[in-house]
Structure 1
């Protein structure tokens, strides 16, 4: 057993010969088609509005909304069906282009090894969810509690958040649906901004929750590691996530706005797909319509700057990943808190700071943060250091530390966030200046 565990954690996926390219391409195409169709299950949720009013991840809310809309307003139903088709088809074509144009834009085909490793990372973290639920359920059962309390932990948390929102959060302004959606996006965007920012600035959130999303050295949607399946913190954020975003929804609408949210998400998800494609950065950043749509949505191609491993692109030494954090339309909170960054003329290199060489082992990469925290807590005897290991900033490295994701014999520190002194140097971008930079012609030199 010891040898098996050593093999699983220390072996690496080797380089794959290009003769397997056709098989790999077929796999990528199948994955993209399935991902595009499966994404329809999330259109009633959205990154800002949150599943706080009893929503669930399935096709049923979408089908129910469409059926209700068809009987109430057939004309709008046809328009929404057309918008759904445009959104799904556009995202599918962009994802295909992000893979097949990679060699033309980057000089070589997307490494097969990276596709295998990061796909398996996503698969491993996703399959671990039912395993952890089973372990939690078993623990409850051994403790004399109901087995289903652990097995249905996610559903229980969603229902609890729903009950708390419905029973205790008032509707301050029962605004018309379009205005309500916009207000919800702005207010909940504030919380999304700080959740995301804390995922970079707080050590335990960075290592256990958000760093895997930033590991991929060159981005495609197919190889970008999902955020909310990150181990093991997704178990602990279900309730606060649902509660906060659900409360933001209830403040401006007494009832779920499924149809309106679906329309809103269809629109913002069109430019959003450009945020995780290295090969499409130049195409998207030079297209005025894509730039404008990305800026209005508060993401899109601008989000790619957030994945840069090179802080000099925003003229802020050390500010890796702490730009274009998102949260609400027009990058409102990035502008307010000084983390808005215009597009770079050069395609930024993605990945962790400095693009360190990673262990090409999907199990090791997925568990690297958890292994590092446990290793540090075990090896550092000082209780003060143990405390800082857990609650310290992401720039802190204890006396004894091993990074299990990065190939290095030395202690490495992913500078995922600048020091407070660096943050103070962030220049405030006025909304008018930011909007003007979007409408301007593509730059021909580095921006600051």
Structure 2
């Protein structure tokens, strides 16, 4: 049994040759189409709410809104349907461009190995959700309560939050719909900003919840690890998240604003797709329309700066990822709290700080945060250290610690003067080029 566990945790996805490119491209296309259609289930949700963090996550609210609009205002129905169609089509084209233009922008095709590793990691994270719910249901059953409480944990928490908000949160200003949506985005964006920022600065949240989203060394949508499925934390944030953002909504509107929120989400989702596309960074940076739309939505091509692995790109005190955190339109909270960063003329390299070499094992990457926290708690006997492991900043490392995601832990790249550092992707030597791509550090003499 130990040998089997060692094998599945220590082995890595092998090199995958270019002869499998068509198969890999088919997988990417299938994901992109399904992802774009699936996003329609979320269009009615308020700003910054995701699956399980709002009301009904299905196509039904969207269909209901369209049906109601068709009977009351046919012209508006046609306009909204056109906007929805354009948003979905634009996102499909942009995601396809992020993959198929990668070779033109970066010098070689997107590595098939990365597609397999990070796509499987995403899949494992998503599949873990029902396992966590099953475990919760079993715990409730063993405690003498109903299994359904745990199995339907998401629905129960959403209902509790919605009932509390509708009963106890007043509507301060029943504002016109456009003003209400904008106000909700600004106010709720403050909390979104700080939750996201804590996801980087608080080690428990970073390791268990947010670091997987920043692991990918070069971004396309299928290999960008989803935040909301990260293990195991999101399940336990549903109630406070819904209470907080539901309250922000109720303050400015006594009734749901489904149609208005759908329009708002359509507009911000158009530039949003540029935030996770390495090959589209320069296209987005050079397009005035994409830049303006990204700045308005506090996302888009500016969000790609947030994924930079290079401290020189607006790093805060030598760290990365603490820029363009988002939350609220016009980067209002980034500007106020000093984390706004303009676009770099050079495409930043994505990933963890310094692009360390990762263990390319999907299961290991998925469970790396859980394994690290658990290992640290077991191997550090001091109760003071155990407490610090759970509550310290992400910069803290206990006396005994193992990073299960990163190889050569602690290795740092130095930048001697008078040289500058740039990154280049290079293939392993061999007659037939493989897709095993590593980040190779190269120093070039300054001219």
Distance 1:250 1:49, change over 3 A: farther
Contact 1:49 1:185 in 2 (8 A): no
Moved more, 306-315 or 31-40: 306-315
Q: Distance in 1 between matches of 2:170 and 2:185?
A: 18
SS at match of 1:313: coil
2:69 aligned with 1:69, yes or no?
Answer: yes
Q: In 1, Cα distance between the equivalents of 2:105 and 2:280?
A: 8
The answer as to whether partners of 2:47 and 2:185 remain within 8 angstroms in 1 is no
In 2: Cα distance, 1:185 partner to 1:413 partner: 39
> Equivalents in 2 of 1:15, 1:86: separation in Å?
38
Task: Give distance in 1, aligned partners of 2:21 and 2:198.
Answer: 39
Residue in 1 that maps onto 2:308: 308
String of CA shifts for 1:209-259, please: whole Å, max 9, x gaps.
Answer: 000000000001111000010001111111111110110000000011000
Query: In the alignment, which residue of structure 2 is the partner of 1:110?
Result: 110
CA distance in 1, matches of 2:54, 2:355: 41
C-alpha displacement of 1:12: 0.5
Work out whether residues 42 and 51 of structure 2, in 8 Å CA contact, stay in contact via their aligned partners in 1.
no
| Residue 330 (structure 2) aligns with | 330
1:265-284 aligned at under 5 Å gives the runs: 265-284=265-284
Superposed counterparts of 1:145-184, under 5 Å: 145-184=145-184
Deviation at 1:265, TM superposition (A): 0.2
Contact 1:49–1:184 (Cα < 8 Å) also in 2: no
Question: More deviation in 110-119 or 128-137?
Answer: 128-137
Deviation at 1:45, TM superposition (A): 1.2
Report what 1:392 is aligned to: 392
Q: What is the aligned partner in structure 2 of residue 251 from structure 1?
A: 251
CA contact (8 A) 1:154 1:238 kept: yes
> Against the structure 1 CA distance between its residues 122 and 315, is the aligned structure 2 distance closer, same or farther, given a 3 Å change threshold?
closer
Deviation at 1:91, TM superposition (A): 0.3
* Cα separation, 2, equivalents of 1:100 and 1:301: 18
Whole-angstrom distance in 2 between the partners of 1:262 and 1:149 = 31
Are the equivalent residues in 2 in contact too, given 1:52–1:246 (CA < 8 A)?
no
SS of 2:321's equivalent in the other structure is coil
Structure 1 residues 3 and 275, CA, compared in 2 at 3 Å: closer, same or farther?
A: same
CA shift, 1:315, in A, is 6.1
Contact 2:281 2:347 (C-alpha < 8 Å) held by counterparts: yes
In the other structure, the counterpart of 1:237 is 237
Contact map agreement 1:53 1:256 (CA 8 A) in 2:
no
For residue 8 of structure 1, report the CA deviation from its aligned partner: 1.4
> Distance between the aligned counterparts of 1:315 and 1:134, measured in 2?
41
Q: Say if 2:373 is the partner of 1:379.
A: no
Q: CA deviation at 1:177?
A: 0.3
User: Match of 2:289?
Assistant: 289
Distance 1:41 1:315, change over 3 A: closer
Q: Which stretch of the first structure deviates more once superposed, 287-296 or 92-101? A: 287-296
Structure 1's 196 and 53: CA in aligned 2 closer, same or farther, altered over 3 A? closer
Alpha-carbon distance, 1:48 to partner: 2.7
Unpaired segments of 5 or more residues in structure 2?
414-447
Q: TM-score of the superposition, structure 2-length normalised? A: 0.90
Q: Deviations over 1:254-296 (max 9, x none)?
A: 0110000000000000000000000000111011111111001
Aligned residues: 413
Say if 1:253 and 1:107 are closer, same or farther in 2 by CA, change over 3 A. Answer: same
Between the aligned partners of 2:52 and 2:333, the Cα distance in structure 1 is 22
Question: 1:9 aligned to 2:2?
Answer: no
What are the within-5 Å matches in structure 2 for residues 29-44 of structure 1? 29-44=29-44
Deviates more, 1:134-143 or 1:167-176: 134-143
Spell out structure 1 runs of 4+ moving beyond 3 A.
49-54, 410-414
For the residue of structure 2 that corresponds to 1:312, the secondary structure is coil
Q: In the alignment, does 2:82 pair up with 1:82?
A: yes
| Alignment deviations for residues 12-52 of structure 1 (CA, whole Å, 9 cap, x no partner) | 00110000001111111111111111110011115436789
Task: Report if the CA contact (8 A) 1:171-1:254 is conserved.
Answer: yes
Per-residue CA deviations over 1:332-362 (Å, capped at 9, x if unaligned) read 0000001000000000000000000000001
Larger % of strand: which?
2
- Note the 1:90-105 alignment, pairs <5 A: 90-105=90-105
Over the residues paired in the alignment, what is the CA RMSD in angstroms? Answer: 1.6
